[in-house]
Amino acid sequence: MRAHLVYAHPEPKSFCAAMKDTAVTALAEAGHEVTISDLYAERFNPVASGADFVMRRDPRYLSYALEQRRAIEWDTLAPDITREVERVLAADLLFLVFPVFWFSMPAILKGWVDRVFLSGMFYGGRRFYGRGHLVGRRAGIVASMGAREHMFGLKAIHGEIEPMFRHLTRGTLGYVGYNVLEPFWAFHVPYISDEERRRDLDRLRQHLAKLDSLPVLPVPDLSGYDAQCRILFAGDMREP
């Protein structure tokens, strides 16, 4: 299997960098071919704009998704986008490795999604969720955060963790068709001991060693919806 990691942390000596290195090693040891996009090191530009297209279908009015669709046809995407798209399409497994900023990805990684998950290729029309372009592939999240584990839960201060990150798991990775693996979270990272951090890296190794048995978050199977995505019958969730 080919695994691609998209990693975004501004500090090369951070715990998040150690998670990235641990993941690269663990996946390689499991026999996967591993590639990586190191967004800070590569100074990735996260701002979606008209400059993302070498030639524009309409230079007077920017409809970003329409330009994406035309640029795929014409092969006129900016080179940095083309490079990232090829990396993603070559991989059976995608991992996003990042520090949680505001219950989501750092902007540099959010912009990687904005610019790389192309309309007309990754999704489009009725091709999303269970019919997204990446159906059959798997995606995972490996993330560190300041919050403690007990801060998540039904009555806990942040509420349940799944809805807090649903925009990313279901709304982004699931939307383009990935089977979304149960995320790996390292909690309270800035406040714990080195010993505890080493245990988190061990836990990450174990997590990556059992990819085939990890729970997968369900995404909707589109069969329960009509052409306008109205409910036809009680929404089935895809069992991968």
Residue 61 CB-half CA count within 13 A: 2
Q: What kind and span of H or E run contains 141?
A: strand 138-144
Contact region with a second copy (CB under 8 A), list: 46-54, 70-78, 192-200, 207-215? 46-54
33 near a second copy, judged by CB under 8 A: no
Nearer CB in complex with a second copy: 26/88: 88
Contact in structure between 105 and 8 (CB atoms under 8 Å): yes
Q: How far is CA 164 from CA 6, 170, 207, 233, in A?
A: 21, 11, 21, 27
Residue 139 pairs in a beta bridge with 94, 180
In the complex, least distance from residue 142 CB atom to a second copy, rounded to whole angstroms: 18
Which are the contacts of 1, defined by CB distance < 8 A and separation ≥ 6? Answer: 31, 32, 33, 92, 93
Q: What does the per-residue mask of binding to a second copy show for 121-160, with x meaning CB under 8 A? A: --------x----------------x-x-xx---xxxxx-
The least CB distance from residue 225 to a second copy, in Å, is 5
**Per CB under 8 A, which region of 62-70, 132-140, 194-202, 209-217 contacts a second copy?**
62-70
Establish if 197 lies at the interface with a second copy (CB under 8 A).
Answer: no
**Residue 103 backbone phi and psi in degrees, to 5:** 55, 30
Nearer to a second copy, 82 or 119 (CB): 119
Q: Which among 5-13, 18-26, 79-87, 199-207 is the span making contact with a second copy, rule CB under 8 A? A: 5-13
**Cα–Cα distance for residue pair 189/19, rounded to 1 Å:** 12
Binding residue for a second copy (CB under 8 A) from 70, 88, 106, 132? 106
210 lines the binding site for a second copy (CB under 8 A) = no
**Residues of the shown chain interacting with a second copy in the complex, contacts defined by CB under 8 A:** 10-11, 13-14, 40, 46-50, 61-65, 101-108, 110-111, 113-114, 117, 129, 146, 148, 150-151, 155-159, 163-168, 170-172, 175, 190, 220, 222, 225, 228-231, 234-235
